[in-house]
Amino acid sequence: MASIVLATLNARYAHASLGLRYLRANLGELRDDSVIAEFALGRREEEVVERLLAHAPRVVGFGVYIWNVEQTTRIVALLKAVAPQVMVVVGGPEVSHEIESQRICALADFVVTGWGDVTFAKLARALLHGPRPIMKVHAGEQPPLDAIALPYREFSDDDLRHRHVYVEASRGCPFKCEFCLSALDKTAWPFPLAPFLDEMAQLYARGARHFKFVDRTFNLKIESSIATLRFFLERIEANVDDPPFVHFELIPDHLPQKLREWIARFPPGVLQFEIGIQTWNEEVQRLISRRQDNAAAEANLRWLRAHTRAHLHVDLIAGLPGEDLESFARGFDRLVSLQPHEIQLGILKRLRGAPIARHTQPFGLRFNPEPPYDVLATDRIDFATMQRIARFASYWERIANSGRFARALPLVLADLPFARFMALADWLYARTGRTHSIANEALYELLHRWLIEAGVARTHAAEALAADYVASGARGSLSFADTAHAPRVEPRAAAAPRRQRRHLRSATSS
C-alpha cells in the first residue's frame, strides 16, 4: 500500500522514466509512502487503473508527454469514474502549456507546470495533511540544482539489467530554436559535477551499462564533457570485456581539439552522438532563431566519421517554415555525403508552448490537431508531398537506419540520394500500400525488383542483397539467392551485447 503512486506510460518497456524518479527522490518524508508504477504504451486502460488502485493510493501523479497524452487522458477519465476520491495530479511538458484547452487537465484535480521536483512534493504534503490547496494549477518552482535530490538510487537492479538509464548532467539550453520547448529556457544549468559522477559510479558498480544523457548540450562546457568522458574511459580500460554504451547529444558546430582528443580514444560500440542539424538552409535557420555555423558543423561531422569510432545519429526536420522540398532534398543529400551511421528524418511538430507557433499564419503551417501535432502542409509543401516525406522517413528507418542493407543501400542511393530513395519509397507504397508490417524476406524481394527496374545489373543487385541477408543473421530463403555469387559473409554473432550489435555493425561495415 502507498498513499502516493507516481505513474506514466513509457513508449517501450526498455525506457525508464527519469522524471518519476526525480519526483520520488524529492518527496522527503513521504518517499517511503510512495511507489513508482510504469506501464508500456498500449497497455489496456482498465488493467492500468486496476494496478494503480491495488496500491490503495490517495494521490496519483501522472507524467504526461506528447507520446502518451491520449492514452493517459483515457486512464485519468477511467480512474476518476471508478475512484473519484483519489486525487489526480498531472505534470510534464504536454500539460505545462495551453492548459485550458486540454481534456486531461479538466479531468485532473491538480496540474503542475514546468519543473516538478520541489512543487509536487509540496502539493502532495498539502493533499495528504492539509490544508487542501484552492488553486488547481501550480507553477513549478525552479530551485538551485544542488538543492534537488538526485534520482539515480531510484533505479532498481532490474531497471539496470533490462532498461535504459536516463541521466542528466545539466538542464536547460542556451539556444532558442523555436521548434523546441527548450527555447523557453534562459540558459543551461549544470548539476554539480562531483556529486553527479559519484552517482554515476554507484550506478556503474551496480551493473548499469546503458547510459542515455538527456542533456540538450553535452558539449557546451568542455571541461565537464571531458571529465564525464574520462569517467567512462577509465572504466572501459579497467574492464575491456564489459564496456558501456553511452549516448550524448552534441552541438554540431562546437568540437574543440581538447574534446576531440578524448572522443578519439574510445573503442567502437561505446559512444553514440545524436547531432541535430535540423536544416542546412541559412534563411530557415535565421527564421527559427537557430544559430549554427554550417561549415563548422560539416567539418566536425567529417572529422567524427573519419577519426573516431563513435556512432553518429544525425537529425533533419522536414516542414520547417520557409523550407521547400528542393531545399530539404539538398540538405538531405549534403548530409548523406557526410556518411553518418543514421539519419533521423523528423516531421515538424507543434509542441505546446514552443515559439514555432508564431509562424503558423505567415507560412501557412497546417498542424495535425491530435498528438503528435505534426505539420500536415505548409505554403511550400502541400499535404500530398508531406505524406510522401513521411513515408520516405518510415522506409528510411527500416532500410537505411536498420544497418541491414549496408551493401545494397549504396546501389539504391547512387549519386542522387534523395531523389532515388523518394522514388523507391513511392514505388514501395504503390505496391504494398503500407510502410510497416512488411515481412523481412518480402522487403528483400521488393528491393531486388526495384533495383533491377532502376537499372542495376541483376547479378549485382542479387549479390549485394544476398550478402546483406546472410550478414543480418536471417535464415529464410530468397527467390534470387540461387543466382547470386556473393562472397561468403559470416552472420553476426548473436552473443554480442544487444545494445551494441547495431552500432558495431555500422562500425565494421564502413
CATH at 137: 3.40.50.280
Condensed to tens digits (0 to 9), the pLDDT of residues 23-70 reads 999 999 999 999 999 999 999 999 999 999 999 999 999 999 999 999
Condensed to tens digits (0 to 9), the pLDDT of residues 240-251 reads 999 999 999 999
Q: What is the 3-state secondary structure (H, E, C) of 323-339?
A: CCHHHHHHHHHHHHHCC
**Three-class DSSP category at 362:** coil
**Cα–Cα–Cα angle for 451, 452, 454, rounded to 5 degrees:** 65
Question: What is the H or E stretch that residue 258 is in?
Answer: helix 257-263
**Cα–Cα–Cα angle for 116, 119, 125, rounded to 5 degrees:** 125
Condensed to tens digits (0 to 9), the pLDDT of residues 470-492 reads 999 988 889 988 765 544 544 44
Condensed to tens digits (0 to 9), the pLDDT of residues 278-303 reads 999 999 999 999 999 999 999 999 99
Helix axes 417-432, 383-399, angle to 10 degrees: 90
- The pTM of the full predicted model, rounded to 2 decimals, is 0.92
Condensed to tens digits (0 to 9), the pLDDT of residues 101-150 reads 999 999 999 999 999 999 999 999 999 999 999 999 999 999 999 999 99
Strand partners, 5: 35, 60
Residue 373's closest CA among 348, 346, 344? 348
Quick count: other Cβ atoms within 10 Å of Cβ 290? 20
User: What's the CA gap between 248 and 243, in Å, rounded?
Assistant: 16
- 435 part of a folded domain: yes
- 389 part of a folded domain: no
Q: How confident is the model at residue 482, as a pLDDT? A: 72
Query: Residue 446 has which C-alpha cell?
Result: 521488393
The domain total for the chain is: 3
Q: How confident is the model at residue 111, as a pLDDT? A: 98
Q: What is the CATH number for 223?
A: 3.80.30.20
Domain that includes residue 452, residue range = 404-510
DSSP letters for 83-113: -TTSEEEEESGGGSS-GGG-HHHHHSSEEEE
Helix ranges (H only) for 184-244 are 193-205, 222-238
Beta-strand relationship, 188-190 and 170-172: antiparallel
Q: Taking all residues of the chain, what is their mean pLDDT, rounded to a whole number?
A: 94
Domain-ending residue, one of 89, 120, 143 = 143
Say if residue 219 is in the same domain as residue 164: yes
- 388 part of a folded domain: no
Say if residue 432 is in the same domain as residue 477: yes
Q: Cell numbers 524476406 label which residue?
A: 441
Say if residue 309 is in the same domain as residue 416: no
- 150 part of a folded domain: no
User: What's the CA gap between 87 and 14, in Å, rounded?
Assistant: 29
Say if residue 365 is in the same domain as residue 416: no
* Torsions phi, psi for 100 (to 5 deg): -60, -25
Residue 323's closest CA among 280, 372, 355? 280
